[in-house]
Amino acid sequence: MRFAAYQHQQQHSVAVVADDGTLYPVPDAHSLTELITSGDGLAALLRTGAASFGAPPGPHVSRVRLLPPLQPSSVRDFVTFEEHVEGVRRSVDGAAGVPEEWYAAPAFYFTNPHAVHGPGDDIPVPPGSAVLDFELEVAAVIGREGRDLTPEQARDHIIGYTVLNDWSARDLQSAEMKVGLGPCKGKDTATTLGPYLVTADELEPYRDDDGFLRLALTAEVNGEVVGTDLLSNMSWTFEEMAAYASRGTRVVPGDVLGSGTCGNGGCLAELWGRRGEQTPPPLKPGDTVSLTVEGLGTLTNTVVPGTAPVPLPTGRRRTRERP
C-alpha cells in the first residue's frame, strides 16, 4: 500500500493512495507518524489501510498539497554506496579511493529532523552557501521499537520506504569537516521525504537473492537526467543498517534510515570529483530537482533564494589563563 500525508481545505489528513491517485482517508488520522507509532508494525498498518478502502473516497492526489509522509524524531543518514564515496571524497578533500575503515560498518550521521520538507516544497539555499547539491537516496522507516537487533529480526521492524533528498551545501560541508566532526550546517537546512510511504510488502518482489532491493534510481535537474543507478549497489542491506542503528540503543516507530547517496550521478559532487570540474554546475534558485525511485515514485522540489547568514565573530584565540 501507499500512504500519503496531505493538506486539503486547511486540514491535515492521512490516506491510502489508490492506483488511480484517489485518496482514501484514514478516519481520525492527522499524522502518519502518529498512526505508525500507535500500531504494532506492518500488519497493523496494512489492516488500517484495508479498512480505509471501505470508506468513502476523498479527493484526488492532484488536488491536495502533499506533506512529508513523516515527521521523524530522528533521521540517521548512512553512506552505503562505494561509488558515491569515491567521487565525493575526491571532490571534497582531493583524496582518492575508499577508506578501508568504511568497509568495517555502515557509517551514518544524524541529520536535522526539524528541517524535513515534502514533495513540491521550495528549498531555500542555505545561508552563506554558493555550492548547493542534491543527493538521491531511499529511506527505510522503522515501524516497531527494537534494540540490539539481528538483521533477520530487523526485517520485521521496517514498515516501509520513501524517497529521500539529502540537500547538501558542499562549500560549508567541506570547510566544517576539516574540524574532524561530521557535517553540520552543510546538511542542516533541508531533507525532503516523499511522495509517499510505500509499505515494505510492496517491495518484496524487487528483492534479489542477496537480500537487496533492486530498484532503478534516476536523478534529473531541470528535466535533464544527470544520474542513474540501482539501489542494489548498496554495500549493506536495510536490515543490516537497522541492526547497526539499534546496536547498544533503540530504534523507534517513525525513525528514518537513509540509504546514503547512490552512485553514477546520485549527486553533483560525485560528478565533480570524477570530472575535475563543477559540471553540471551547483544548484541555483529556479533549478528543479526530480528524484525517481522505481516502486516509490518521484520527488520534486525547486530551489529558491535563502536568507543571508547572521554575522558571528570568529573564535577567540585565548590566552589560556588558569585559576
Domains of the chain: 2-66 (no CATH), 75-304 (3.90.850.10)
Give CA–CA dist 48/179, Å, rounded: 48
Residue 209 has what pLDDT? 97
The residue count for the chain: 323
Which residue's C-alpha cell is 560525485?
270
pLDDT tens-digit series, residues 218-253: 999 999 999 999 999 999 999 999 999 999 999 999
The string of DSSP codes covering 101-156 is GGGGS--EEEE-GGGEE-TT-EEEPPTT-S-EE--EEEEEEE-S-EES--HHHHHT
Q: Rounded mean pLDDT of the chain?
A: 96
**CB-based contacts of 181: which residues, under 8 Å, 6+ apart?**
none
Give CA–CA dist 30/123, Å, rounded: 24
pLDDT tens-digit series, residues 98-122: 999 999 999 999 999 999 999 999 9
Q: What is the DSSP letter of 307?
A: P
Residue 46 has what pLDDT? 97
Give CA–CA dist 161/122, Å, rounded: 23
SS3 helix, strand, coil % of the chain, rounded to 5? 25, 30, 45
Residue with more model confidence, 147 or 174: 147
Joined grid coordinates for residue 52: 480505509
Residue 89 has what pLDDT? 83
CB 50 within 8 A of CB 226: no
Mean of pLDDT values over 258-269: 97
Confidence of residue 259 (pLDDT cuts 50, 70, 90): very high
Q: Which amino acid, 265?
A: G
Q: Is 1 exposed, middle or buried (0-12, 13-18, 19+ CB in 10 A)?
A: buried
pLDDT tens-digit series, residues 43-94: 999 999 999 998 899 999 999 999 999 999 999 999 999 999 999 888 777 7
Residue 98 has what pLDDT? 93
- Model-wide pTM > 0.75: yes
Give CA–CA dist 18/55, Å, rounded: 13
Confidence of residue 96 (pLDDT cuts 50, 70, 90): confident
Confidence of residue 182 (pLDDT cuts 50, 70, 90): confident
Residue with more model confidence, 42 or 94: 42
Percent of the chain residues topping a pLDDT of 90: 92
Confidence of residue 177 (pLDDT cuts 50, 70, 90): confident
